[in-house]
Structure 1
Amino acid sequence: MTAVNQELIAQRLNLSRATVSRSLANHHAISAETRRRVQEMAEKLGYQMSPGRVGRRGKNSRALTIGVLIGIPAEKVEMATFPYILRGIQARAEIEHVTIDVCYQAPADFHPETGRQPVIRNMRQGNWRGTILIYPFAEKAVEAISQRVSTVAVLESYNQPGIDIIDTDDASAMVALVERLAEAGHERIGFLSWHYPIGGHWVARRFSGYVEALFLRGLPFRPEWVLNVDKNSPRLSPTQVADAVAKRVRDDHVTAWVCAADHQAYQLVHDLPLRGLRVPEDVSITGFDGLDPAAGQKRITSMRVPHEQIGSAAVTRLVNRIQHPTAPRRKILVEAELVAGETIAPPVRA
């Protein structure tokens, strides 16, 4: 029986043994196409790399720099979760003896498939051995990145093979929020999000948990009680979202709203009193992320996501992916914890 080793892979592809070895290590000096061919052949033949050491890298390990690409616009972003994720990344990177290079990039202006943006130059020149993606980027952009370096995505899923995912169990968390509203007596519950240039999948996943909870409880679902989810519906600004919520509260007696994120919920709590509605006396609001309120604001009832632990896990997963690029893709889901805020009350009966 022929041994399945790197020499056999080299013979099958008419490559040198050194090229195969470097391709399996995801070395930047080997073209993405060659690495792909080698890794596909290794998988086809059932080649198993030596597991080596997993986890913490020693002080004398070879220098390793990873990029952290944060998908936010250039302007200041309030009520963002990335600082907590970044804190976890930085803490774990120190333990792993890894250098991180943090870049901020508006997703709508990011086109690495052209090969001309600075991020791609860092990858091509070997400055980055891997990348952690925070927040959604376009699929084409993610494909271009993952073809060059090992990639781990945080709080977003992609269709590209080989990208590891560290994410929240969104659906079960949303079920818990709707359950809390239902226990308070709410039967007409709406769902809303904001419109983003690169929307990603996170809103859809949280929406699916909302729908699941309604059906489990036997509560009514109405498409007109859902804002900024259906791609065929008009895209509403935050101000228009508040107007639409106020209209549904008055016309349809929708007494509670589940927001896809805390920053949306806090803005809504600010905007509704300007439209004559009190929170939670007239309408109950929930968010998602567990962020602290600004001074003078009520705390949103929400699901607290362990962002620091997610950031730490992303570094560990990326180091393992760099060491073992042909290992099966992994998707790790973490649970969120209910935060009992001040924005739920029993509904006012019509």
Structure 2
Amino acid sequence: MRKPTMQRIADQLGISKNSVSLALTGRAGVSKELREKVLEAALEIGYPIEKLKTKTSMKSAHMIGLIAREEIFAENTFFGVINLHIEKEIKSREGHLLLHAVEKESEEKLKLPSFLTEKKVDGLLVLSHLRKEFIQAIIQSGIPVVLVDHHDPNLNVDFVLTDNRKGAYLATIHLIRKGARSVGFIGEISKSPSYRERFEGFLDAMQEEGLSIEDQWVNHHINEQESLLYSYLKSLPSLPDAWFCANDHFGFLITRNLNKLGIRVPEDCSVCGFDDSIFATLSMPKLTTIAINKENFAIRSVVQLYRRMENLEMPFEKTILNVELIERETIFSP
């Protein structure tokens, strides 16, 4: 007689062994209907489920993991706010949140957090950009996962994203409609797919409006160091009418360095940022920017993860959240 195993149940129902395990142990990741089918099949072949069911009844709250690169957890202006709202939303569902900062060496060696390898979490949120190979290793662990503010078309996983391209397009169009006949771009696009999308949105707007893109006014390699930005601006033989910046920190630094060079913002040069972070209000003058509803971003990410935990078989979803232009003081009005 064949031994009653999880693999035998999986083969009988045409599902994965991991789905069988989730169903038998009462963990999230399978629908109620599938869980009942698995239990019925287990009883049919004589698989010992009583002990498992007793263990399941003792489990009440979900344990959710959240991982990101170390520098993301140090960020308290954009991702820090999203992280805070994620924690609030999970607590409102009586869940618990485990955080893990991914070190560079661990990412390169594909060393996953212990709470993943030991199956201590019911679901996982991945905040911002990590190597595709690292995320693929996470997916292969079988834990339900949602990527937050990062995506890759080659990954079979749920994404929750900002409409970066549209936001950059709106910002650039706004600068042009306010009278700018030349617009520059500042941002390190290799740092994040989001920044690359913002650069693409900038290019879309410039092309649509029939404005030429001057190489001297496009710097998509420079990082967020004030001294580097100052040297770059000072080296330019002339300046554009406006700058679109990949984030508010760049906008803050561009505004401050232009002031140091005796160039008035917005009278001589307009500036627009992205994210509506604390840098937008610290800037003098205050920075016009593209706003992201960070609380909604966090809530939608948690909702999607819980949906995935309830049903591992549903199609993967790409959720794109809208953005809004926030007009402040750094764009000239003729």
- Structure 2 length-normalised TM: 0.78
Residue 290 of structure 1: which of 261, 269, 276 is its match?
276
114 and 103 in structure 1: CA distance in 2 versus 1, 3 angstrom threshold: closer
Task: Give yes or no for the alignment of 1:304 onto 2:291.
Answer: yes
Residue type of the partner of 2:230? A
Q: Secondary structure at the match of 2:71?
A: coil
Q: Distance in 1 between matches of 2:113 and 2:217?
A: 42
Which residue of structure 2 aligns with residue 264 of structure 1?
250
Q: Is the 2:217–2:239 Cα contact (8 Å) retained in structure 1?
A: no
Which residue of structure 2 aligns with residue 56 of structure 1?
none
What's the C-alpha RMSD, in Å, of the aligned pairs? 3.5
Which residue of structure 1 aligns with residue 180 of structure 2?
186
Which residue of structure 1 aligns with residue 149 of structure 2?
155
Which residue of structure 2 aligns with residue 323 of structure 1?
310
Q: Is the 1:285–1:343 Cα contact (8 Å) retained in structure 2?
A: yes
Q: Distance in 1 between matches of 2:293 and 2:259?
A: 31
Q: Distance in 2 between matches of 1:275 and 1:103?
A: 42
Task: Give yes or no for the alignment of 1:244 onto 2:242.
Answer: no
Q: Which of 1 and 2 has higher RCO (CA within 8 Å, sep 6+)?
A: 1
Which residue of structure 2 aligns with residue 44 of structure 1?
none
Q: Is the 2:183–2:242 Cα contact (8 Å) retained in structure 1?
A: yes
Which region of structure 1 is more displaced relative to structure 2, 167-176 or 220-229?
220-229
- Return the offset for 1:178: 1.1
Q: Is the 2:247–2:273 Cα contact (8 Å) retained in structure 1?
A: yes
Q: Distance in 2 between matches of 1:301 and 1:26?
A: 53
Q: Distance in 1 between matches of 2:101 and 2:299?
A: 19
Q: Distance in 2 between matches of 1:272 and 1:28?
A: 59
Which residue of structure 2 aligns with residue 10 of structure 1?
11
Q: Is the 1:178–1:210 Cα contact (8 Å) retained in structure 2?
A: yes
Q: Distance in 2 between matches of 1:296 and 1:267?
A: 8
Q: Is the 1:25–1:324 Cα contact (8 Å) retained in structure 2?
A: no
- Return the offset for 1:158: 2.3
Deviations 1:192-243 (A, max 9, x none): 11376xx2311111111111111111111233322125xxxx8785432333
330 and 75 in structure 1: CA distance in 2 versus 1, 3 angstrom threshold: closer
- Return the offset for 1:66: 1.0
Q: Distance in 1 between matches of 2:226 and 2:211?
A: 26
Which residue of structure 1 aligns with residue 52 of structure 2?
none
Q: Is the 1:150–1:322 Cα contact (8 Å) retained in structure 2?
A: yes
Structure with a larger share of its residues in helix: 2
- Identity among equivalent pairs (%): 21
Q: Is the 1:70–1:104 Cα contact (8 Å) retained in structure 2?
A: yes
- Return the offset for 1:161: 2.9
- Return the offset for 1:23: 5.5
Which residue of structure 1 aligns with residue 264 of structure 2?
278
Q: Distance in 1 between matches of 2:216 and 2:26?
A: 50
Matches within 5 A, 1:186-225: 186-194=180-188, 199-225=191-217
Residue 166 of structure 1: which of 142, 160, 163 is its match?
160
Deviations 1:162-194 (A, max 9, x none): 321111111111111112111111011011113
Which residue of structure 2 aligns with residue 57 of structure 1?
none
Task: Give yes or no for the alignment of 1:70 onto 2:71.
Answer: no
Which residue of structure 2 aligns with residue 176 of structure 1?
170
Q: Distance in 1 between matches of 2:176 and 2:110?
A: 50
Q: Is the 1:167–1:331 Cα contact (8 Å) retained in structure 2?
A: yes
Which region of structure 1 is more displaced relative to structure 2, 217-226 or 255-264?
217-226
Which residue of structure 2 aligns with residue 137 of structure 1?
130
> Unaligned regions of 5+ residues in structure 2, if any?
1-6, 36-57
- Structure 1 length-normalised TM: 0.75
Residue type of the partner of 1:10? D
Which residue of structure 1 aligns with residue 53 of structure 2?
none
Q: Is the 2:147–2:157 Cα contact (8 Å) retained in structure 1?
A: yes
> Unaligned regions of 5+ residues in structure 1, if any?
1-5, 30-34, 40-47, 53-59
Matches within 5 A, 1:13-24: 19=17, 21-22=19-20
Residues paired across the two proteins, number: 304
Q: Distance in 2 between matches of 1:344 and 1:74?
A: 30
Q: Is the 1:123–1:129 Cα contact (8 Å) retained in structure 2?
A: no
